[in-house]
Protein backbone atom coordinates (compact mmCIF):
# COMPACT_ATOMS: atom_id res chain seq x y z
CA UNK A 1 0.00 0.00 0.00
CA UNK A 2 2.83 2.41 0.84
CA UNK A 3 4.49 1.59 -2.48
CA UNK A 4 1.31 2.62 -4.29
CA UNK A 5 0.96 5.85 -2.28
CA UNK A 6 4.59 6.99 -2.42
CA UNK A 7 5.26 9.02 -5.60
CA UNK A 8 8.91 7.90 -5.64
CA UNK A 9 7.98 4.22 -5.61
CA UNK A 10 5.36 4.71 -8.33
CA UNK A 11 7.87 6.42 -10.60
CA UNK A 12 10.73 3.97 -9.95
CA UNK A 13 8.84 0.65 -10.14
CA UNK A 14 8.35 -0.86 -13.57
CA UNK A 15 5.14 -2.46 -12.38
CA UNK A 16 2.92 -1.96 -9.35
CA UNK A 17 3.73 -3.92 -6.20
CA UNK A 18 1.14 -6.63 -5.52
CA UNK A 19 0.12 -8.29 -2.26
CA UNK A 20 2.16 -11.37 -3.18
CA UNK A 21 5.24 -9.20 -3.71
CA UNK A 22 4.76 -7.72 -0.24
CA UNK A 23 4.53 -11.18 1.36
CA UNK A 24 7.61 -12.32 -0.55
CA UNK A 25 9.50 -9.23 0.64
CA UNK A 26 8.58 -10.00 4.28
CA UNK A 27 9.79 -13.59 3.92
CA UNK A 28 13.04 -12.53 2.23
CA UNK A 29 13.62 -10.00 5.01
CA UNK A 30 13.43 -12.80 7.59
CA UNK A 31 16.02 -14.74 5.57
CA UNK A 32 18.16 -11.56 5.28
CA UNK A 33 17.75 -11.63 1.51
CA UNK A 34 15.57 -9.57 -0.79
CA UNK A 35 15.09 -9.13 -4.52
CA UNK A 36 13.21 -5.84 -4.03
CA UNK A 37 14.89 -2.60 -2.97
CA UNK A 38 12.61 0.16 -1.64
CA UNK A 39 13.18 3.61 -3.13
CA UNK A 40 10.88 5.90 -1.19
CA UNK A 41 11.68 7.23 2.26
CA UNK A 42 8.44 5.84 3.75
CA UNK A 43 9.00 2.32 2.39
CA UNK A 44 12.63 2.40 3.49
CA UNK A 45 11.61 3.40 7.01
CA UNK A 46 9.05 0.59 7.18
CA UNK A 47 11.60 -1.91 5.84
CA UNK A 48 14.14 -0.81 8.44
CA UNK A 49 11.67 -1.25 11.30
CA UNK A 50 10.59 -4.67 9.99
CA UNK A 51 14.20 -5.83 9.65
CA UNK A 52 14.96 -4.78 13.23
CA UNK A 53 11.81 -6.52 14.48
CA UNK A 54 12.64 -9.74 12.62
CA UNK A 55 16.27 -9.67 13.77
CA UNK A 56 15.40 -9.19 17.44
CA UNK A 57 12.62 -11.78 17.33
CA UNK A 58 14.77 -14.46 15.69
CA UNK A 59 17.70 -13.68 18.01
CA UNK A 60 15.49 -13.91 21.12
CA UNK A 61 13.94 -17.18 19.98
CA UNK A 62 17.34 -18.69 19.12
CA UNK A 63 18.85 -17.69 22.46
CA UNK A 64 15.94 -19.12 24.47
CA UNK A 65 15.87 -22.28 22.38
CA UNK A 66 19.58 -22.86 23.00
CA UNK A 67 19.16 -22.19 26.72
CA UNK A 68 16.23 -24.60 26.94
CA UNK A 69 18.08 -27.31 25.01
CA UNK A 70 21.23 -27.09 27.13
CA UNK A 71 19.64 -26.58 30.55
CA UNK A 72 19.40 -29.61 32.77
CA UNK A 73 16.21 -30.39 34.52
CA UNK A 74 16.35 -30.09 38.27
CA UNK A 75 16.17 -33.54 39.80
CA UNK A 76 13.70 -33.81 42.66
CA UNK A 77 15.34 -35.72 45.52
CA UNK A 78 11.93 -36.74 46.91
CA UNK A 79 9.41 -38.58 44.79
CA UNK A 80 7.00 -39.75 47.48
CA UNK A 81 6.38 -40.62 51.11
CA UNK A 82 8.97 -43.43 51.04
CA UNK A 83 11.79 -41.07 50.05
CA UNK A 84 10.62 -38.50 52.59
CA UNK A 85 10.74 -41.02 55.44
CA UNK A 86 14.32 -42.13 54.60
CA UNK A 87 15.94 -38.70 54.83
CA UNK A 88 16.42 -36.20 57.65
CA UNK A 89 17.49 -33.01 55.83
CA UNK A 90 13.97 -31.91 54.91
CA UNK A 91 11.60 -31.81 57.85
CA UNK A 92 7.92 -32.52 57.36
CA UNK A 93 4.71 -32.23 59.28
CA UNK A 94 0.94 -31.83 59.07
CA UNK A 95 -1.96 -30.03 60.70
CA UNK A 96 -2.49 -30.62 64.41
CA UNK A 97 -5.66 -32.50 65.31
CA UNK A 98 -6.55 -32.97 61.65
CA UNK A 99 -7.62 -36.02 59.70
CA UNK A 100 -4.14 -36.36 58.16
CA UNK A 101 -2.49 -36.43 61.60
CA UNK A 102 -5.00 -39.01 62.75
CA UNK A 103 -4.21 -41.15 59.72
CA UNK A 104 -0.45 -41.21 60.47
CA UNK A 105 -1.02 -41.70 64.17
CA UNK A 106 -3.28 -44.73 63.73
CA UNK A 107 -1.53 -46.25 60.71
CA UNK A 108 0.14 -49.67 61.08
CA UNK A 109 2.24 -49.39 57.92
CA UNK A 110 5.96 -49.24 58.65
CA UNK A 111 6.64 -46.22 56.44
CA UNK A 112 3.83 -44.17 57.94
CA UNK A 113 4.74 -45.24 61.47
CA UNK A 114 8.30 -44.00 60.85
CA UNK A 115 6.98 -40.72 59.50
CA UNK A 116 4.71 -40.23 62.53
CA UNK A 117 7.63 -40.86 64.86
CA UNK A 118 9.65 -38.20 63.02
CA UNK A 119 6.78 -35.68 63.14
CA UNK A 120 6.34 -36.25 66.89
CA UNK A 121 9.95 -35.25 67.61
CA UNK A 122 11.03 -31.81 68.85
CA UNK A 123 7.97 -31.55 71.07
CA UNK A 124 5.58 -31.48 68.16
CA UNK A 125 7.23 -28.44 66.53
CA UNK A 126 6.94 -30.03 63.11
CA UNK A 127 3.15 -29.89 63.38
CA UNK A 128 1.41 -26.61 62.51
CA UNK A 129 -1.67 -24.87 63.85
CA UNK A 130 -3.14 -23.99 60.43
CA UNK A 131 -2.67 -24.74 56.76
CA UNK A 132 -1.60 -21.13 56.17
CA UNK A 133 1.28 -21.63 58.59
CA UNK A 134 2.26 -24.88 56.88
CA UNK A 135 2.31 -23.24 53.43
CA UNK A 136 4.41 -20.36 54.78
CA UNK A 137 6.97 -22.79 56.23
CA UNK A 138 7.18 -24.60 52.89
CA UNK A 139 7.90 -21.29 51.13
CA UNK A 140 10.58 -20.10 53.56
CA UNK A 141 12.12 -23.28 55.01
CA UNK A 142 13.18 -26.76 53.96
CA UNK A 143 9.85 -28.16 54.98
CA UNK A 144 7.28 -30.51 53.44
CA UNK A 145 3.65 -30.10 54.43
CA UNK A 146 1.29 -33.09 54.31
CA UNK A 147 -2.35 -32.17 53.74
CA UNK A 148 -5.55 -33.36 52.08
CA UNK A 149 -5.49 -33.60 48.30
CA UNK A 150 -8.30 -31.09 47.68
CA UNK A 151 -6.66 -28.44 49.85
CA UNK A 152 -3.28 -29.27 48.32
CA UNK A 153 -4.57 -28.74 44.76
CA UNK A 154 -6.19 -25.47 45.84
CA UNK A 155 -2.93 -24.18 47.36
CA UNK A 156 -0.78 -25.25 44.39
CA UNK A 157 -3.12 -23.47 41.95
CA UNK A 158 -2.71 -20.20 43.86
CA UNK A 159 0.99 -20.34 44.71
CA UNK A 160 3.24 -20.88 41.71
CA UNK A 161 6.24 -21.64 43.93
CA UNK A 162 4.54 -24.74 45.39
CA UNK A 163 4.44 -28.20 43.84
CA UNK A 164 2.81 -31.50 44.64
CA UNK A 165 5.28 -34.39 44.98
CA UNK A 166 4.23 -38.00 44.66
CA UNK A 167 0.79 -39.51 44.57
CA UNK A 168 -1.94 -39.83 47.16
CA UNK A 169 -1.02 -41.50 50.45
CA UNK A 170 -4.62 -42.39 51.20
CA UNK A 171 -7.84 -41.88 49.30
CA UNK A 172 -11.10 -40.97 50.94
CA UNK A 173 -14.30 -39.37 49.73
CA UNK A 174 -16.44 -36.59 51.09
CA UNK A 175 -20.07 -36.88 52.11
CA UNK A 176 -22.91 -34.88 53.59
CA UNK A 177 -23.77 -35.83 57.17
CA UNK A 178 -27.43 -36.43 57.96
CA UNK A 179 -29.22 -37.85 61.00
CA UNK A 180 -29.76 -41.58 61.01
CA UNK A 181 -32.98 -42.49 59.22
CA UNK A 182 -33.31 -39.05 57.58
CA UNK A 183 -35.82 -39.00 54.66
CA UNK A 184 -33.49 -36.72 52.67
CA UNK A 185 -30.66 -39.24 52.50
CA UNK A 186 -31.86 -41.03 49.35
CA UNK A 187 -32.82 -37.81 47.55
CA UNK A 188 -29.47 -36.13 48.24
CA UNK A 189 -27.57 -39.25 47.17
CA UNK A 190 -29.46 -39.43 43.86
CA UNK A 191 -28.88 -35.70 43.26
CA UNK A 192 -25.15 -36.10 43.86
CA UNK A 193 -25.01 -39.02 41.42
CA UNK A 194 -26.80 -36.96 38.76
CA UNK A 195 -24.32 -34.10 39.28
CA UNK A 196 -21.45 -36.53 38.82
CA UNK A 197 -22.95 -38.02 35.66
CA UNK A 198 -23.46 -34.57 34.12
CA UNK A 199 -19.89 -33.53 35.16
CA UNK A 200 -21.34 -30.56 37.00
CA UNK A 201 -19.18 -31.28 40.04
CA UNK A 202 -16.08 -31.32 37.83
CA UNK A 203 -17.07 -28.01 36.26
CA UNK A 204 -17.58 -26.46 39.69
CA UNK A 205 -14.18 -27.70 40.82
CA UNK A 206 -12.48 -26.27 37.73
CA UNK A 207 -14.32 -22.99 38.25
CA UNK A 208 -13.23 -22.47 41.85
CA UNK A 209 -9.90 -24.33 41.81
CA UNK A 210 -8.42 -23.49 38.39
CA UNK A 211 -10.32 -20.61 36.76
CA UNK A 212 -10.09 -18.43 39.88
CA UNK A 213 -6.39 -19.14 40.37
CA UNK A 214 -3.28 -17.41 39.03
CA UNK A 215 -1.86 -18.86 35.84
CA UNK A 216 1.17 -20.94 36.79
CA UNK A 217 1.68 -22.49 33.37
CA UNK A 218 5.11 -22.41 31.78
CA UNK A 219 5.47 -19.20 29.76
CA UNK A 220 6.46 -19.24 26.12
CA UNK A 221 10.11 -18.96 25.35
CA UNK A 222 11.24 -15.36 25.52
CA UNK A 223 7.84 -14.09 26.70
CA UNK A 224 7.09 -12.82 30.22
CA UNK A 225 3.70 -12.72 31.91
CA UNK A 226 3.19 -9.08 30.85
CA UNK A 227 4.40 -9.60 27.28
CA UNK A 228 8.09 -8.94 27.93
CA UNK A 229 10.37 -7.94 25.07
CA UNK A 230 8.00 -9.21 22.39
CA UNK A 231 5.43 -6.60 23.42
CA UNK A 232 8.09 -3.90 23.14
CA UNK A 233 9.09 -5.12 19.68
CA UNK A 234 5.46 -5.15 18.60
CA UNK A 235 5.04 -1.56 19.78
CA UNK A 236 8.17 -0.52 17.86
CA UNK A 237 6.82 -2.22 14.74
CA UNK A 238 3.47 -0.48 15.15
CA UNK A 239 5.18 2.88 15.64
CA UNK A 240 7.26 2.37 12.50
CA UNK A 241 4.16 1.44 10.52
CA UNK A 242 2.30 4.56 11.66
CA UNK A 243 5.30 6.82 10.95
CA UNK A 244 5.80 5.33 7.48
CA UNK A 245 2.12 5.75 6.64
CA UNK A 246 2.11 9.39 7.74
CA UNK A 247 5.30 10.03 5.76
CA UNK A 248 3.86 8.41 2.62
CA UNK A 249 0.61 10.38 2.85
CA UNK A 250 2.59 13.60 3.32
CA UNK A 251 4.69 12.85 0.24
CA UNK A 252 1.58 12.04 -1.78
CA UNK A 253 -0.14 15.30 -0.78
CA UNK A 254 3.02 17.27 -1.55
CA UNK A 255 3.24 15.68 -5.01
CA UNK A 256 -0.32 16.67 -6.00
CA UNK A 257 -0.32 20.09 -4.31
CA UNK A 258 -0.19 23.02 -6.82
CA UNK A 259 3.24 24.61 -6.89
CA UNK A 260 4.21 28.28 -7.24
CA UNK A 261 5.85 28.83 -10.64
CA UNK A 262 7.44 32.18 -9.66
CA UNK A 263 11.16 32.03 -10.50
CA UNK A 264 13.51 32.12 -7.57
CA UNK A 265 15.79 35.17 -7.37
CA UNK A 266 19.34 34.26 -8.23
CA UNK A 267 22.06 34.33 -5.61
CA UNK A 268 24.60 37.22 -5.49
CA UNK A 269 27.43 36.90 -7.99
CA UNK A 270 31.07 36.47 -7.12
CA UNK A 271 31.93 39.87 -8.62
CA UNK A 272 29.41 41.55 -6.33
CA UNK A 273 30.89 39.87 -3.27
CA UNK A 274 34.41 40.89 -4.37
CA UNK A 275 33.24 44.46 -4.84
CA UNK A 276 31.89 44.48 -1.31
CA UNK A 277 35.16 43.14 0.06
CA UNK A 278 37.52 45.37 -1.99
CA UNK A 279 35.63 48.66 -2.33
CA UNK A 280 33.89 48.54 1.03
CA UNK A 281 30.51 49.51 -0.44
CA UNK A 282 27.78 50.13 2.14
CA UNK A 283 24.13 49.40 1.57
CA UNK A 284 21.52 52.14 1.66
CA UNK A 285 19.35 52.28 4.75
CA UNK A 286 16.17 51.32 2.90
CA UNK A 287 17.72 48.23 1.38
CA UNK A 288 19.35 47.30 4.67
CA UNK A 289 16.02 47.55 6.50
CA UNK A 290 14.25 45.44 3.89
CA UNK A 291 16.75 42.71 3.20
CA UNK A 292 19.05 42.78 6.20
CA UNK A 293 22.66 43.89 6.46
CA UNK A 294 24.28 41.27 4.21
CA UNK A 295 21.58 41.37 1.55
CA UNK A 296 21.74 45.16 1.47
CA UNK A 297 25.50 45.14 0.98
CA UNK A 298 25.22 42.65 -1.87
CA UNK A 299 22.40 44.66 -3.48
CA UNK A 300 24.45 47.87 -3.25
CA UNK A 301 27.45 46.12 -4.75
CA UNK A 302 25.40 44.94 -7.71
CA UNK A 303 24.03 48.46 -8.16
CA UNK A 304 27.52 49.98 -8.11
CA UNK A 305 28.84 47.50 -10.64
CA UNK A 306 25.83 48.15 -12.91
CA UNK A 307 26.29 51.92 -12.70
CA UNK A 308 29.98 51.53 -13.53
CA UNK A 309 29.19 49.47 -16.63
CA UNK A 310 26.50 51.92 -17.76
CA UNK A 311 28.90 54.83 -17.28
CA UNK A 312 31.48 53.27 -19.56
CA UNK A 313 28.84 52.53 -22.19
CA UNK A 314 27.61 56.13 -22.16
CA UNK A 315 31.17 57.43 -22.56
CA UNK A 316 31.70 55.27 -25.61
CA UNK A 317 28.38 56.42 -27.07
CA UNK A 318 29.28 60.07 -26.49
CA UNK A 319 32.60 59.65 -28.25
CA UNK A 320 30.89 58.08 -31.25
CA UNK A 321 28.32 60.89 -31.59
CA UNK A 322 28.87 63.50 -34.35
CA UNK A 323 30.05 66.98 -33.41
CA UNK A 324 27.88 70.14 -33.41
CA UNK A 325 29.24 71.18 -36.75
CA UNK A 326 28.37 67.81 -38.22
CA UNK A 327 24.83 68.02 -36.84
CA UNK A 328 24.43 71.55 -38.19
CA UNK A 329 25.93 70.55 -41.50
CA UNK A 330 23.76 67.50 -41.98
CA UNK A 331 20.61 68.95 -40.29
CA UNK A 332 19.03 65.50 -40.56
CA UNK A 333 19.83 62.54 -38.37
CA UNK A 334 19.94 59.03 -39.57
CA UNK A 335 18.38 56.18 -37.59
CA UNK A 336 21.89 55.15 -36.53
CA UNK A 337 22.48 58.62 -35.09
CA UNK A 338 19.22 58.52 -33.22
CA UNK A 339 20.12 55.14 -31.81
CA UNK A 340 23.53 56.44 -30.76
CA UNK A 341 21.88 59.37 -29.01
CA UNK A 342 19.80 56.94 -27.06
CA UNK A 343 16.38 57.77 -28.55
- Give the pLDDT score at 301: 45
pLDDT reported for residue 133:
92
Scanning the chain, the segments in alpha helix (DSSP H) are 2-5, 7-12, 19-30, 41-70, 81-85, 99-106, 110-119, 121-124, 131-140, 149-158, 184-197, 200-205, 228-256, 270-279, 285-291, 293-320, 324-330, 335-340
For position 135, what pLDDT does the model report? 92
What pLDDT does 298 receive?
Answer: 43
Residue 148 labelled as part of a binding site: yes
The answer to whether the CB of 306 falls within 8 A of the CB of 281 is: no
Q: Is 99 annotated as a binding residue?
A: yes
For residue 197, the model assigns a pLDDT of 92
Question: Could you give all domains of the chain from N- to C-terminal order, each with its CATH number?
Answer: 2-68+231-254 (no CATH), 81-172+184-211 (3.40.190.10), 270-340 (no CATH)
What are the 10-residue block averages of pLDDT along the chain, 343 residues in total?
60 58 70 64 73 79 76 63 86 89 90 90 84 91 89 85 82 84 91 92 85 56 51 76 75 68 57 53 44 44 50 56 50 61 58
Amino acid sequence: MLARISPIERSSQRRSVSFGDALWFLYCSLMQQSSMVPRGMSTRLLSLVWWLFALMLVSSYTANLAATATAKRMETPIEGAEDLSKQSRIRYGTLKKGSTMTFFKESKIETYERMWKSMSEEGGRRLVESSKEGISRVQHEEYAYLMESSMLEYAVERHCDLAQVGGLIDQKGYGIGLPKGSPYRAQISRAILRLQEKTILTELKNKWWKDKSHSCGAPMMGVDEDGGPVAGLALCLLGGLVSSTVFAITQFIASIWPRDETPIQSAPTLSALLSVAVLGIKAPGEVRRKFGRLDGVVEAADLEVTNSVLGRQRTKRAESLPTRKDRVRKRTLTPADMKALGF
